[in-house]
Chains A and B, each alone.
Chain A
Amino acid sequence: MKKLLVSVLCLICAASAFAGASKEKASDAPVLVVYATESFLSEWGPAPVVFPKFEEKYGIKIEQRQGGSAGEIVNLAIMEKGKAGADIIIGVDNNLLSTVLKNDLFVPYKPAGIEKVKDNLIFDKSYHVIPYDYRFFSLVYDSNRIKNPPKSLDDLLDPKYKKSLIVMDPRTSSPGLGFLMWTVKCKGEGYKEYWKKLMPNVLTVSESWSSGYGLFTSGEAPMVMSYTTSPAYHVEYEKDEHIKTVLFNEGNYMQTEGIGILKNAPHMDAAKKFLDFVLTEDFQKELALTNWMYPVIETPLPDSYRSAPVSDRPLLLTAEDIDKNLDSWLNGWLESTLNK
């Protein structure tokens, strides 16, 4: 018994020492309270690279709060009604714009350097949400197994691709929703018919991008719905060229991520400085290899991005359209995918 006591005590001491060592130092420096998506805050995401840069440059300490999906954070912010003392939300994508505007979540701000951003990327012309990066949903395939990839949505229906495609569930994942909107944009009301024909080629509908892409990586299917930037990872970190993407003739649906300053933000100045910082090269050049998205201003890209083509036919639905029809699209999708 004594031995056990001693060992437990040792463990507690060690653990406490460890906890003490990693305790954050309190400081009186000005702060900026940030809500950001899980993938942004991840150790392998942009936050660990860009936050220190900002802190150093402006002497403002960043306090990061909630992670989670973009939808989750926006919902939370709406329910908090500005009482929680957060300043900005990073990662609001174009699909959420209507929700954000309807709930009057943000204050408009036109940061310095916004003129460098290409006009078609500014998805909120009222400047409540400022875009900082973008990418396209696209078909990613294993070129060892698929020699002639489909070039369009219709090509995907070819029976030779039976059970060869992994897609994500639009109800639970944003690339899933992106692909659904892509089909809505191109097919109109015919999207239901399209999905009905597509389902025999779908191996599985995963709940998240992570598990879907995980399945693709482990070789379950030769094709997956992902992003145009996906192959760049494999080139950059695995020196592997055989994962490729293809741009569709119809164009590719675009995803733009933005940042907004919350109403009643307690640190308005710091928030504005951060928005300015987001459009500088210091921030923008890090996005390619951490967030796997294209910067919104002209910035040199890493070599691996040669395998991540930019579509010259970006597709987007309007915020009002999404707001009005999202529910019926999801229901329509569900109807046409059930009972194959």
Chain B
Amino acid sequence: MRKNRLLLLLLFIVPFLLLTIFFYVPMITVFINGFSKEGLKAVLTDNYCRSICLFSLKQGVLSTLLSAAIGFPGAYILARYTFRGKGFLKALITVPYVLPPIAAVLGIVLLIGNNGIINRALMALSGAEQPPLHLLYSLKAILIAHTFYNIPFFIRFVYPVWENIPASMYEAGKSLGAGRWRLFRTVTCPWLLCAIIAACALIFVLCFMSFSIVLVLGGNPQYSTMEVEIYKLARTTSNITKACALGGLESLISLLFISLYTAAGHQQSSYPLPSGKHGTVPAKKLSMHHFPALIYIVFLLIYVAMPMVTIALNSFTGKSGWNKENGLTLKWYKAFAQPNMYNPVFNTLFIAIFTVICAIVLSIIISAVISRWPKGSFLIQIFFFASLGISSILLSLGFMLTISNLGFRPNGKLLLIAVHTAAVLPFTIKAISLFYSRINRRCIECAQSLGAKQLRILWTVKLPMIKNGIFTAGIFAFAVSAGEVNGALMLAPEGFTTMPVAIYRLIGAYRFYQACAMGTVLLLICIAAFYAIDRLGEINL
């Protein structure tokens, strides 16, 4: 027993070490290098800094509210209806994460830009000379891009909670004479409130720290987030002091929302799960009668899938312009015969698979500890999620510094897996600990008294019981790892390129359509992976 505990403790420390090494140490390094009173003063007295801070907040709040408002019916439909292709839809709404922002921007531009599919179709129909639809290069466009990422995020976050509202709640409400609307107001909404707050807080942080999307699609430098200014200070004018001060301010605001997220998520996870045969409200089969739901699904497909589809379509064009004589070509896919195209595919898979394995193993250990020490779970979660609030620009700066201070060069692949693991841990721990804390302790004790050792109990009882958490975590870890760019750029050993990095490099080398092909393959791999993982979750193992 003692030995087991010791081993568990040692393994338990690993995730904390990972986070500390890859997030907190670089951050502290940067702050030591730059943080000072003058920097802080410079930021706080600077009108421009104040105005971009306000704008960052404003666009973050707007994007969040929009994502939540549009995503809400989607969560309802996924929670309450069954239909053909639901599994595919679920996989699809996870894919946007893996798309590097540059690809997402181009996908959106190809769809609704001046020369996008929709505008050209409208022009062809009406015979107009100028594109009739002006959605891009404004605040609207920023919101569209952010919602493209975050509506799916919101749905993915909220629908499982909705699905699991115990049916007895509704039955109790109905027996007290509540109508549909009243039930929705008094049962559904309060039950979902924490999940919605948590999802919104997280979406806000992601939008708040957005960088390229805001600048490109906003169309004017008046739409700049704090990240843009940090970039300028850290990289263009080398004013590290001020960059650190601004980064610190940004982290502080993010941290506020991260604690809100953690608190709400924590509250949410204390709600009971439905039990028994009639535990949940049965999902209805979606038919032609549910017209609004059908329309919504089509809308969601267009909104989320179309930017990706347009990327795929572009990968079949040979050169700029959609002229007839250009025709369709497979030459960008034929390029996959070259090692500089097929290697990134294998590299991405390699890193992603190992990230998934590491993240899941470590999350299970952390979850085991959290389940024995429920009071500490809040602190543990804050510790992990706080890493999200760190400016990625300062982080990469700190990272390079830390590594160069090491004096030796650690194995790049291992390092990359470790960084990806550290980045996904907050989410995987959350997904797995939710299920882990609900394991019936007496099942474990029964197994123990029947003679099973810890390892056998883990394998035969615990793992099957937290299976769903593991698969959710797996999907997420895969998505984040497959789409991650910064770490892959900085840490990968020479000649080891992942697909998102290859996309950047291809666009950087004029090969726009080849990049589209690479992006399409990335998306296909991810959809296939998520679909497979999702199916695996439904099969009883």
Given contact pairs A44-B505, A199-B220, A218-B314, A207 touches B212 in the complex (Cβ within 8 A): yes
Shortest distance from the beta carbon of A195 to any chain B beta carbon, whole Å: 10
Shortest distance from the beta carbon of A1 to any chain B beta carbon, whole Å: 4
- Which one of B166-174, B295-303, B370-378, B508-516 is at the interface? B508-516
Identify the closest chain B residue to A239 (Cβ).
B319
Residues of B within 8 A of A220 (CB): 109, 113-115, 136
Residues of B within 8 A of A83 (CB): 404-405, 407
Given contact pairs A15-B354, A171-B231, A240-B319, A215 touches B504 in the complex (Cβ within 8 A): no
Shortest distance from the beta carbon of A258 to any chain B beta carbon, whole Å: 18
Residues of A within 8 A of B502 (CB): 43
CA distance A142 to B105 in the complex (A): 21
Q: Is the CB of B318 within 8 A of A38?
A: no
Residues of A within 8 A of B221 (CB): 169, 171, 205, 334, 337-338
Identify the closest chain B residue to A335 (Cβ).
B48
Residues of B within 8 A of A76 (CB): 397, 400-401, 404
Task: List residues of chain A with CB under 8 Å of any chain B CB.
Answer: 1, 3-4, 8, 11-12, 15, 18-19, 22, 24, 38-39, 41-45, 48, 63-69, 71-72, 75-76, 79-80, 83-85, 99, 142, 144, 163, 169-172, 177, 199, 202-215, 217-221, 230, 233-234, 237-240, 242-243, 292, 326-327, 330-331, 334, 337-340
Residues of A within 8 A of B231 (CB): 171-172
Residues of B within 8 A of A66 (CB): 400, 490
Identify the closest chain A residue to B486 (Cβ).
A68
CA distance A15 to B356 in the complex (A): 13
Is the C-beta of B353 less than 8 angstroms from some C-beta in chain A? yes
CA distance A239 to B536 in the complex (A): 47
Residues of A within 8 A of B229 (CB): 171
B399-421 contacts to A (CB < 8 Å): 400-401, 404-405, 407, 409, 413
Q: Is the CB of A45 within 8 A of B216?
A: no
Q: List 14 A-B contacts (CB under 8 A).
A: A1-B460, A15-B350, A15-B354, A44-B505, A48-B340, A83-B404, A207-B216, A210-B508, A215-B113, A217-B512, A219-B115, A219-B320, A233-B510, A326-B237
Identify the closest chain A residue to B320 (Cβ).
A217
Residues of B within 8 A of A338 (CB): 220-222
Task: List residues of chain B with CB under 8 Å of any chain A CB.
Answer: 33, 48, 102, 105-106, 109-110, 113-116, 136-137, 211-212, 215-222, 228-229, 231-232, 234-240, 314, 318-322, 340, 346, 349-350, 353-354, 357, 396-397, 400-401, 404-405, 407, 409, 413, 459-460, 463-464, 489-490, 493-494, 496-497, 502, 504-512, 536, 541
Q: Is the CB of B507 within 8 A of A205?
A: no
Given contact pairs A76-B404, A172-B228, A214-B512, A22 touches B496 in the complex (Cβ within 8 A): yes
Residues of A within 8 A of B102 (CB): 208, 210-211, 214
Q: Is the CB of A44 within 8 A of B506?
A: yes
Q: Is the CB of A209 within 8 A of B494?
A: no
Q: Is the CB of B489 within 8 A of A67?
A: yes
Residues of B within 8 A of A15 (CB): 349-350, 353-354
The 7 closest A-B pairs by CB, nearest first: A219-B115, A171-B232, A44-B509, A238-B319, A43-B340, A84-B404, A42-B505
Q: Is the CB of A18 within 8 A of B350?
A: yes
Identify the closest chain B residue to A22 (Cβ).
B496
Given contact pairs A39-B508, A44-B506, A84-B404, A177 touches B236 in the complex (Cβ within 8 A): yes
Q: Is the CB of B212 within 8 A of A211?
A: yes
Cβ-defined partner of B493 (8 Å) among A24, A43, A207:
A24
Shortest distance from the beta carbon of B32 to any chain A beta carbon, whole Å: 11
Q: Is the CB of A43 within 8 A of B505?
A: yes
Residues of A within 8 A of B509 (CB): 39, 42, 44-45, 292
Q: 16 new A-B pairs (CB below 8 Å) besides A18-B350, A19-B350, A67-B490? A: A1-B541, A11-B353, A43-B497, A44-B509, A72-B235, A79-B33, A80-B405, A169-B228, A170-B236, A172-B228, A208-B212, A211-B216, A213-B507, A218-B314, A219-B321, A242-B321
Residues of A within 8 A of B396 (CB): 68
Residues of B within 8 A of A12 (CB): 353, 357
Most buried by B among A1, A142, A170: A1
CA distance A39 to B507 in the complex (A): 10
